[in-house]
Each structure stands twice: as C-alpha cells, then as structure tokens.
C-alpha cells in the first residue's frame, strides 16, 4: 500500500489503507493539520480588542433562581429580567420534573426547590404540568426540610422557613484569633467571603413576607419543619450539632455591645474587600450575600457600595436572543474567567504553531501583564511578608489571586516574544517568587491559600453546600511543577518536593484525582505533562501506569469522557460520553509520555478532527469543570476550544521544551 502526494509533502492514503499503517498515520496528520488551522482561525476571531478571551461560564439554575430571589427581597424586580430568567430556568428542567446541577446529571433537590420558587415568583401556576411534576418530585425526596442550608436560608428570608431551624452562624466568629479553630481563615476564600455576610443575616433574621405559600413543597404542610435527628455525641457530626444547639441558646443571651461590635466589624470586613468594579472576589454568591447583609445594616440601594455591588451583579448576566420561541433568555454566571481563558488560549495558539511574536499573542501578553496582582490579599494571613505577584481568575479580583491561574499565566507568557523583555522578566520573577512562597507544608500547592486544611469547617451543620476548605490538589501542584520546569527551575528544591508529593498521590489505578476539573482524566492530563517536563523519563513506572490507565478508559469511539458522578461513585471513574476537552486532556498526557505514534493517540486525534464543527469549534454540552467536587459543576464554554487545539498542536509540532525561553 502506498501513499501519493500533491507536492505539499502531506501524504494522501490509497484506498483500503490498514489501521496502524504509515498511510493511516499520514491521514491522521492531515486531518489534524486541517482541524488545527480551522481552530486557530476560530479562536483568533474570538479575541477581544483589549487582548483577552472569555467564554461563557455555565453552572446551574440556582444562580438564576437566587438572582430573582435577591431582586424580590430588595424590591427591584423587573418584568423583562424575570421573564428572561424564567425561560432559561424552564429550559433546564428534566422531563420528570426536577432540575440537575450538570448536563446529563440526575435531579437535585435544592436546585429543584430554588428553581420552583423562582418560577412561582415569575408567575408560573403551581398546578401547571411542569410545576406539579417538580413539586411532586420534591415531596418524594423529603420536601424543603431535606434541602441544603443555603436553600432554607433563602426561604427563611421570605417566611417560608423558620430561622430557628437554620444552623446558627454568630457574627462574633469574626473575632476568633487566626490560630483558633474555625477562625475565618480556616475556610477557603469562597466560603469565607460568603460566611461573613451570612453572619449578619443570621444575626438579624429578616423576614419579608412572600406573596404566596409553599405548602406543595412540604411532605406534611401541617408539620413543615420536622426536627432533624441528632447524630451520636461521640461523632464529629453529633458534636457539632450540639454546638449548634448551644449557639442557638447563646443567641438569646448574647451581650448586645459585643454583638453590635461584631456586626460592625463584619460590615467593615465586607466593605474593605469590595473590588473596584463593585463585586466581591469576582464571584456572584458572595456579592449577593454582601449586598443583602449591608442593606440589612442600613445601607440604602443608592449607597455607593450597594449601587456598585448591584451593577456588578448585572455584569454576571449573559443574554441570548435565541431562546425558546425566539424570546430572549438570561443566564447568570457564577463568575467570569477572562484571565484563565486568556492564558489557556495563548498556550493553545502558541503550541499550534502561531509565531511567538504574533500580534494576538503580544496583545494578550500585554493584557495579562496589566492584570498581575501587586497588593497583598487574604492569602497573606498565612504567608505574611511574602511579596505579591500572582494572577486572579476574573477581571477584577485583587484580594484573591490564585496559584493555578498564576502558573498557567506564566506558562503562557513564556511562549511569547514580548517587545519589552525586561517587563516580562520582572513579572515572571514576581510570579515565581509568590508561587514558591505559597507552597504548603506537605510540599504541594492549593488554589488560593497555603495550609488551608483544617478538618473542622466541613463538619459544621451550616456547611453542607460543598467544599469549604482549600487543601492542596494534584492538578494545581502539577501546573506549578510544570511552570517551574518551563522557567528552567525544574530542579529547584520546592519543585522536587512537589514532584515527590505528586508521585505519592497517584491512585492505584495509575490516575490522579482532579480537584478543579472532571476528574481523573483531568488530574492525569495535568500531572503527566508536568512530571515529564520536570525531567521524569517517560519510562518511569508512574508514567507507564498512567498511560496504561488512559488506554484502558478510552471510549470505543476513540475519545475520552468522565461523568461528574465519578466524584461520588468510583464506578464512574474514567467513564462518560466522549468530550472534546477530556479527550484533549488524555491526549496531552499520552503525547507527553511519548505515545505520539500509538494507536490510542491516533484514535483520539481522529475523534477530535471528526467531531470538529465546520467553523473550527467543538460542541460540548457536558460539564467538565469543577467548583466543588460533585456539589458545584461548571461548563467552561472555551474549554471545548482551547484544549483540543493545544492537543492537536502538540501532536503536530511536538511538546514545548521547558527551560528554553529565548534570551533577549
């Protein structure tokens, strides 16, 4: 069997080429080259004039429901917003009545309760078929009483639930010393920003009567608040349940001057952390609760702090004009990801062969350099004296830069020939110093804080909404190790400790757990390239075990996928419908491991090329990003573009070489 050429040097197979033959390899390379060219063109067209990229960040309908509840609570609802949000919420309902928290997932009780209440506020009648199906589903699963604490807090704001039956969260928490258990800085940054305003709400217990009852969401409307059974006192859960009962009793005898001082201290803490754009930490939930808390303390809606806060919340809304029946829909993002999306886009374009001095890359580098955070934030509580130098995830978030974004921004910047090399080098040096200083005691890195590993916060009855601490993870640590390798510091003692931790964290299967992406495919796709970049030979047992696992879980269609249920059910690990982003993650690991000519890579690249849309993009309704494992999932709409392009680029051009930045 022979191949012919058209003079371009690209082989074209004869008919009947056998799988695995040189002709097939040439066909795959040709398809990969054409797919890469289309993807590059598509991605370049999506760059903003200022230099950044940002895809939609889709989560679940609790964001939309809570936005409508906030507007109802503040008395600022408007018909157009309510109707557009309601259309979006309805479009996400499952046929049997509930709402899921990720595409293809099962119904979830709290999301269904909140979506149902939001639709009631929008005017949907409780006896409408879709509403009756939802309320029946809720009752079958225990009703409102079985919902999470956050859901019951929202209902308590309107008198649909008793404040006495919500776990107590005293504002005096803000006075706990930083070394005392359960102080504010024992919580992850996202939980900390949410808990402080909720201590104000919990202390004041406001009720703004609702325009209707919710009897249809109780298993027994005559007994809507059934007592919850106590766990044995000898267990941590039982211990903290009894602490909560004690805090409810303390509320009745709390010293008024102390409580007033705590409320004022909490308000100052909130105001001091408001970003320049009016938001808090660049994420929607803390902004929502901060607005409510400050409003309860007397800030009117025209106060500059609240006015800016409400305006920032409007910027989380994504409007689409092509909703059901051609009517507009409004989706609320939990946050926005321009820094993350931009650095990943730069890596993808550079690895796909775009020249290092291409104007799009230089413009993106300029924007990222301007976004470097040069002021201390909450991270400095655990690392006092460490000079700043990280990057955040969002447009405006100077208080909470994160290690993961910083590592990936550095990896992006090392791929750009910037016209001001000294400016670039200063930024890289600041970033490397800050990242090194954020290493936890065990040798690994977490996202936002160092050594944020207290076992107690997750035990609190209040904290049933997902992960509330920020321990080190394999994916973040891998990105840092890869960053050090590309800076020529792969043998730095900090990097070597990170490598040792990663090797110890490998699962028996050969995979790694993915904290911020779904799941073991993401973890493995992050770790293997980092270990190889840092000098581990591709023959190392850890690398070979990872390769064997990826081959084992490859889907029959040639792609890879992993369902979010893998966070709870080990039977789902490595299993799920093939997606563009997860296929790319697996390919990145295999390519780094020297498997470029393997059948697994050939099948994966072929799947990517075959599933690409004519415009150079990929379709991916599945959620492959993680906020809290299982509890809060994310569909990053740009993941389907940047990761496949990176994988195809490395398939065509080889792995980027670490520690080889050109000197200027």
Pairing assessment for the beta strands 57-58 and 11-13 based on DSSP bridges:
unpaired
- Cβ pair 160, 144 in contact under 8 A: yes
How large is the angle between the packed helices 22-45 and 639-653, nearest 10 degrees? 140
Q: Residue 440: how many CA atoms within 13 Å on its side-chain side?
A: 21
CA–CA distance, 473 with 574 (Å, rounded to integer): 18
CA–CA distance, 63 with 88 (Å, rounded to integer): 11
Instruction: Label each residue of 337-397 as H, E or C.
Output: CHHHHHHHHHHHHHHCCCCCCCHHHHHHHHHHHHHCCCCCCHHHHCCCCCCCCCECCCCCC
Q: How far apart are the first and last CA of the chain?
A: 49
Catalytic residue, from 67, 186, 404, 602: name it: 404
Q: Show contacts of 487-490: CB within 8 Å, 24+ apart.
A: 487/410, 487/414, 487/428, 487/432, 487/659, 487/661, 488/658, 488/659, 488/660, 488/661, 489/432, 489/659, 490/533, 490/534, 490/535, 490/658, 490/659
CA–CA distance, 605 with 598 (Å, rounded to integer): 11
- Residue 204 burial by Cβ neighbours in a 10 Å radius (0-12, 13-18, 19+): middle
Q: Which two tokens stand for residue 323?
A: 């909703």
The closest of 646, 527, 489 to 583, measured between CA atoms, is: 646
CA–CA distance, 393 with 124 (Å, rounded to integer): 37
Q: Which two tokens stand for residue 392?
A: 């955040």
Annotation says 124 is catalytic = no
CA–CA distance, 189 with 531 (Å, rounded to integer): 29
Q: Point out the residues that are catalytic.
A: 404
């Amino acid at each position: 069997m022979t191949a012919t050429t058209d003079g371009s040097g690209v082989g074209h197979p004869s008919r009947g080429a056998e799988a695995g033959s040189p002709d097939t390899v040439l066909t795959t390379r040709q398809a990969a080259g054409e797919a890469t060219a289309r993807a590059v063109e598509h991605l370049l067209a999506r760059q903003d004039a200022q230099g950044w990229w940002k895809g939609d960040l889709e989560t679940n309908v609790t964001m939309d429901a809570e936005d409508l509840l906030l507007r109802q609570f503040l008395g600022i609802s408007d018909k157009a917003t309510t109707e557009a949000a309601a259309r979006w919420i309805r479009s996400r309902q499952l046929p049997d009545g509930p709402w899921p928290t990720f595409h293809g997932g099962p119904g979830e009780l709290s999301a269904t309760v909140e979506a149902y209440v939001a639709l009631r506020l929008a005017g949907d009648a409780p006896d409408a078929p879709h509403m009756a199906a939802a309320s029946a589903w809720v009752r079958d699963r225990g009703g409102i009483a079985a919902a999470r604490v956050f859901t019951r807090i929202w209902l308590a704001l309107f008198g649909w639930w008793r404040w006495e039956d919500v776990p107590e969260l005293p504002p005096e928490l803000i006075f706990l010393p930083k070394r005392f258990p359960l102080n504010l800085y024992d919580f992850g940054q996202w939980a900390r920003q949410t808990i402080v305003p909720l201590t104000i709400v919990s202390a004041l217990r406001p009720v703004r009567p609702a325009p209707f009852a919710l009897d249809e969401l109780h298993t027994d409307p005559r007994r809507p608040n059934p007592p919850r059974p106590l766990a044995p006192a000898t267990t941590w859960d039982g211990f903290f349940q009894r602490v909560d009962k004690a805090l409810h009793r303390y509320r009745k005898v709390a010293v008024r001057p102390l409580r007033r001082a705590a409320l004022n201290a909490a308000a100052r803490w909130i105001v001091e952390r408001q970003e320049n754009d009016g938001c808090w930490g660049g994420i929607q939930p803390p902004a929502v609760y901060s607005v409510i808390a400050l409003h309860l303390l007397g800030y009117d809606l025209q106060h500059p702090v609240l006015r800016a806060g409400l305006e920032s919340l409007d910027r989380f809304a994504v409007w689409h004009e092509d909703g059901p029946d051609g009517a507009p829909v409004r989706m609320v993002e939990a946050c926005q990801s321009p820094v993350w999306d931009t650095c990943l886009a730069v890596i993808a374009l550079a690895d796909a062969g775009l020249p290092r001095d291409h104007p799009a890359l230089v413009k993106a580098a300029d924007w990222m350099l301007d976004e470097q955070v040069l002021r201390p934030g909450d991270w400095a509580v655990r690392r006092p004296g460490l000079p700043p130098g990280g990057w955040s995830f969002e447009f405006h978030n100077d208080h909470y830069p994160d290690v993961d974004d910083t590592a990936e921004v550095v990896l992006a910047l090392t791929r750009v020939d910037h016209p001001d090399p000294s400016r670039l080098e200063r930024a890289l040096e600041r970033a490397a110093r800050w990242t090194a200083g954020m290493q936890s005691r065990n040798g690994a890195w977490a996202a936002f804080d160092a050594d944020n590993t207290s076992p107690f916060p997750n035990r609190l009855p209040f904290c049933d909404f997902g992960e509330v601490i920020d321990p080190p993870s394999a994916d973040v640590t891998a990105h840092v190790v890869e960053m050090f390798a590309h800076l020529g510091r792969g043998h730095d003692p900090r990097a070597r400790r990170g490598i040792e931790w990663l090797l110890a964290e490998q699962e028996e299967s050969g995979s790694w757990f993915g904290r911020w992406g779904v799941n073991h495919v993401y973890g493995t796709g992050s770790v293997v390239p980092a270990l190889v970049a840092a000098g581990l030979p591709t023959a190392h047992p850890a690398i070979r075990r990872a390769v064997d696992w990826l081959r084992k879980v490859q889907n029959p269609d040639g792609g890879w996928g992993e369902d979010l249920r893998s966070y709870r059910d080990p039977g789902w690990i490595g299993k799920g419908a093939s997606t563009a982003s997860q296929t790319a993650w697996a390919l990145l690991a295999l390519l780094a491991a020297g498997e470029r000519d393997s059948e697994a890579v050939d099948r994966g690249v072929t799947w990517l090329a075959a599933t690409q849309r004519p415009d150079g993009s990929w379709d991916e309704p599945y959620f492959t990003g993680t906020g809290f494992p299982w509890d809060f999932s994310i569909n990053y709409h740009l993941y389907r573009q940047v990761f496949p392009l990176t994988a195809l680029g490395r398939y065509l051009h080889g792995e980027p070489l670490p520690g080889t930045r050109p000197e200027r």
